[in-house]
Amino acid sequence: MRKFLFSAILSCSLLLASGAFAADRPNFVVIFCDDLGYGDLSTFGHPTIRTPNLDALAAEGQKWTSFYVAACVCTPSRAGLLTGRLPIRNGMCSDRRRVLFPDSSGGLPATEITISSALKDLGYRTAAVGKWHLGHLPEFLPTSHGFESYFGIPYSNDMNRVKRDVSQILLAEQEDFAAYDVPLMRDEEIVERPADQRTITKRYTEEAVAKIREFGDEPFFIYLAHSLPHIPLFRDESFKGRSTAGFYGDVIEEIDWSVGMITETLEEAGIAEDTLVIFTSDNGPWLTFDSHGGTAGMLRDGKGSTWEGGMRVPTVVSWPGTVKPGIVHEMGSTLDLLPTFVSLAGGALPDDRVYDGHDLSSFLRGETGDSPRRTMFFYHGEQLYAVRQGMHKAHFLTKTSYVGQKAPEKHEPPLLFHLGIDPGEQWNIAEEHPGVVASLRELVDEHTAGVERIPSRLPGRIGE
């Protein structure tokens, strides 16, 4: 019923829009990497990985230096991006099982409104390419959440591991793709198993390029979610040994090639100036895998933590002729994509649920000088660990790295950092600023009081 009402609202918005306005609605392309660190691109400071296409995209568009994801691991982060809601609100997080697995019975609830379902109701063509990780059963796949088509691996590329020795992940070379019995799907059907991951970035790119050409002059949304650089690492033969930064560098440089193919196709089709492209990552780098895990640069820690390195991600925004080129230090989040896209498409969000995203459309157009996002809440599973408002960030709980620390450490008083002066979160200034701590504590209390939790959709196993 909720989805029906929302569809009606969006349809009315579309009909009320003038023909000229409808023609001006932009296309949207989201390129979403898996476990890419804040410091893994040359435009974000990596000294040996070459990313010329992303460098050019950032130079001609915007490089966002304070862009956050909704969670520090895959499944909840993706749920936040597609719904504009913190995962605690839709059950896509858990303190028991952090992500969905091949034996999971749950997935993104049908009651959730996604970017794809919202834009589809506004007359957009939609396609999902790559990693999904929001439920592999038919009722949870992209085609059940507003995407016309899907081509990709439904969960992480290291799942269904045939060889149990973790060293196989660290030593994975191209011939080892059969060690991971992951399916490659087209829509609801498995077309290859195990997926040959040696060519997975190339094939995802070819699919996205084909969709851009297929959609032509119709407004569209393409969600290209790369399976890499999540371990195990794979790259096409043509990229083997290309990077000075070794295997991991080869993987990133192939992703950069992919970005170049997408932008080149948009230009050839004459729609580059009609298309908003956002490149980002689902969380920070998986540091426990050494040279296969990337880097968060000067930020602290990585994937699985609510330190900056776990949830602040490298982000590039391109919309030629509309976004003003430059470096953006204002805050933004993947949570902001749904309200921003719906606004730019001429729609309106329903008032039957709470959204955690902000509409950035006026800021992107340069009509306002400040981003509407002033606050970011940092969840680890079902618990709120930290909050940032302005330049101050308070940690009430911390858990370092993806593995190793069994239980979170509680901080009373909370740790406090000034992220302008100390983005690496090294110098706790809580004692010097009790007023700031009190203000942030009050902010957290107000937020948590307004969160209506639903049972987690992650712990259940098929057959239970």
- Cite the active site residues: 74, 133
Hey, what are 25's tokens?
């609605």
Say if residues 90 and 109 touch (Cβ distance below 8 Å). yes
Query: What tokens appear for 251 in the block?
Result: 């993987």
SS3 state of residue 107:
coil
Task: Give the count of beta carbons closer than 10 Å to the beta carbon of residue 320.
Answer: 18
Q: Is 295 exposed, middle or buried (0-12, 13-18, 19+ CB in 10 A)?
A: buried
DSSP 266-293: HHHTT-GGGEEEEEEESS---GGGGGGS
Q: Give the angle 429-435-439 at the CA atoms, nearest 5°.
A: 105
In total, the chain counts a number of residues equal to: 464
For the chain, the farthest-separated pair of C-alpha atoms sits apart, in whole angstroms, at 60
DSSP 298-366: TSS--TTSSSHHHHB--EEEE-TTTSPPEEEEEEEEGGGHHHHHHHHTT----SSS-------HHHHTT
Give me 141's structure tokens.
Answer: 């796949």
Distance in angstroms (rounded) separating the CA atoms of residues 311 and 399: 13
- CA nearest to 133, candidates 335, 283, 341: 283
Residue 230, sorted as left (phi over 0), alpha (psi -120 to 50) or beta, turns out to be: beta
The C-alpha angle with vertex 86 and arms to 402 and 112, in degrees rounded to 5, equals 120
Please answer whether residues 344 and 361 qualify as being in contact, where contact means their C-beta atoms are separated by less than 8 angstroms.
Answer: yes
Cite the DSSP H helix spans in 87-199. 115-121, 167-170
Q: 114 phi and psi, to 5 degrees?
A: -105, 165
